[in-house]
Amino acid sequence: MAERLVDSPEVQELLDKLSGGNVGGGDPRLKAITRRIVGDLFATIEEFDITEDEFWTFLNFASTGSGEYGLWAAGLGIERFLDIRADAKDAAAGVTGGTPRTIEGPLYVAGAPVVEGKARLDDGTDKGELLVMHGQVRDVNGKALPGAKVEVWHANTLGNYSYFDKTQSDFNLRRTIIADADGRYAYRSIVPAGYACPPGGSTENILKAIGRHGHRPAHIHFFVSADGHRHLTTQINIAGDPYLHDDFAYATRDDLIPDLVHKTGGEPATSLGVKGEYADIAFDFVMHPAKTGEEEDASARVRAAA
């Protein structure tokens, strides 16, 4: 009999971490209960081959009236487990290469302004460190994907996201960038900060009870899509963050930690109006061909829309 994915060392290690079994403090009984309940959920997902869409449909139903179920899914490792399953299915099918997937999180907002080629994400009110990120969208054979859609969103220097933080302007630090004829995209923004779960919320309370923290390293989220290619949900982490390899949502992947280089001048910074020193990140997105039309779309979870 083939080994169950839930029994693999990778998933067992995840269960140890998400239940606080690898850290001191917290209630030992609650740690054990958390590990069993989440482990049983993982086993159920595997046994019935529950799809990502089916999981989010269930969570959407169960979370009526609650604002933190998305954080629970991230903080208790469920989103990470769904990615582990997807990676395992790719490996079994011989699908290799491409930009790694990682969790979406609960803070996407539909309807961000659409910009061709190059964009400015910030509204100029946050005086954080200037950031320029740029790269190419291409397929696994190296062919550029002109017109690919790069949706990007991230927190400000206080760790807050527009729409959810009403002090920020609409769609601050959110844009949809349409790649140019060479599949290239670029944007200027500010280097985001990491953040923690809402203080006093249900997610923070359960994490504290099992001896865990609720911090995330600084990161930038992406949806990347192109006709005939599989939708990519991913994020990059900012190198050097103290929580880089201690993310409460388990989203850090080594291939998603690009170099951050400090520069002055040069393209595309100059054409984006950047003056003086800035942080530069070069990162390409590599897309897999879609086998079905459904693979071209994001999962069916409830998302905010402005």
* CA atoms in the 13 A half-sphere facing the CB of 232: 31
Give the span between the Cα atoms of 302 and 60, in whole angstroms.
6
Residues contacting 13, CB < 8 A, separation 6+: none
Q: Residue 225, SS3?
A: strand
Rounded to an integer, the average pLDDT of 201-229 is: 96
Band (69; pLDDT cuts 50, 70, 90): confident
Q: With CA atoms as reference, report the closest residue to 219 among 201, 207, 233.
A: 233
> Nearest 5°: phi and psi at 291?
-90, -25
Q: Locate tokens 């964009």: which residue?
A: 119
In this prediction, residue 63 carries a pLDDT of 66
Q: Locate tokens 């907002």: which residue?
A: 109
Residue 258, preceding peptide bond in cis (omega within 30° of 0): no
CA 88 to chain centre: 19
Give the span between the Cα atoms of 2 and 13, in whole angstroms.
19
End-to-end CA distance of the chain: 49
CB 244 within 8 A of CB 252: yes
Say which CATH class 109-305 falls into.
mainly beta
CB 221 within 8 A of CB 161: no
Average pLDDT of the chain?
95
CB 129 within 8 A of CB 190: yes
Digit-coded pLDDT (tens) for 89-125: 999 999 999 999 999 999 999 999 999 999 999 999 9
Residues contacting 8, CB < 8 A, separation 6+: none
In this prediction, residue 2 carries a pLDDT of 65
Rounded to an integer, the average pLDDT of 76-83 is: 97
Portions of the chain given CATH number 2.60.130.10: 109-305
> Nearest 5°: phi and psi at 87?
-65, -40
Digit-coded pLDDT (tens) for 286-301: 999 999 999 999 998 8
In this prediction, residue 239 carries a pLDDT of 95
Could you give the residue ranges of the DSSP H alpha helices within the chain?
A: 9-18, 28-47, 52-62, 69-75, 78-92, 202-209
How far is residue 24 from each of residues 17, 31, 72, 300, measured CA to CA in Å? 11, 11, 21, 37
Digit-coded pLDDT (tens) for 123-165: 999 999 999 999 999 999 999 999 999 999 999 999 999 999 9
Q: How do beta strands 174-178 and 114-116 pair?
A: parallel
